[in-house]
Amino acid sequence: MLRQEARPLTVEEIALPPIQQLIDHMRETMRDAPGVGLAAPQVGLGIQLAVIEDRAEYFKSVDPAILAERERAPVEFLALVNPRIVSQSEDTVEFFEGCLSVAGFSALVKRSRSVVVEYRDAAGQPCRLEATGWFARILQHEIDHLYGRLYIDRMESRTFATIENIGRYWKDLPIDKVREALKLS
């Protein structure tokens, strides 16, 4: 399922109790992990649905300079149905990224610094949002899942490592220092 393109939901389907219940279940699954996003293909369903939430408690012990570098701030819970990126910056940023479907690992992934996304919300209403920094990264990651792509398809392969080793060797280092140490161009 993770490698297949998910199908869009109709407005009528979004309103159905099973989809509304699925949104609630996905929110709980994401929080239990804990994670900042979860797409329906990750729970075995080939539909274009993702949930996102980046709670302040997830990064309360992170150095404010690191948060600023990553442009990371809390993101309220969002259910995104049929999301699509309608524009993205040519300006890119690179950070370590992980995934609940590739548990225990992380790697450097280059992504657009900002995106504009159009989607339908949990009520089926059309929405549009602009995101930068970490929020933009989360959106790109989850939308990739809806098209059968994983972060490992975009990663700098020499940086793929266990979370434990990243914490041991690279935690809180600026990305340019990680690239320098690994002799990445």
Query: Which are the catalytic amino acids?
Result: 142
Peptide bond into 34 cis (omega under 30): yes
Q: Are 145 and 139 in contact (CB under 8 A)?
A: no
Question: CB 67: neighbour CB atoms within 10 A?
Answer: 15
User: Tokens 């949990």 appear where?
Assistant: 122
For residue 89, give the H/E element and its range.
none
CA nearest 163: which of 110, 69, 72, 98?
Answer: 98
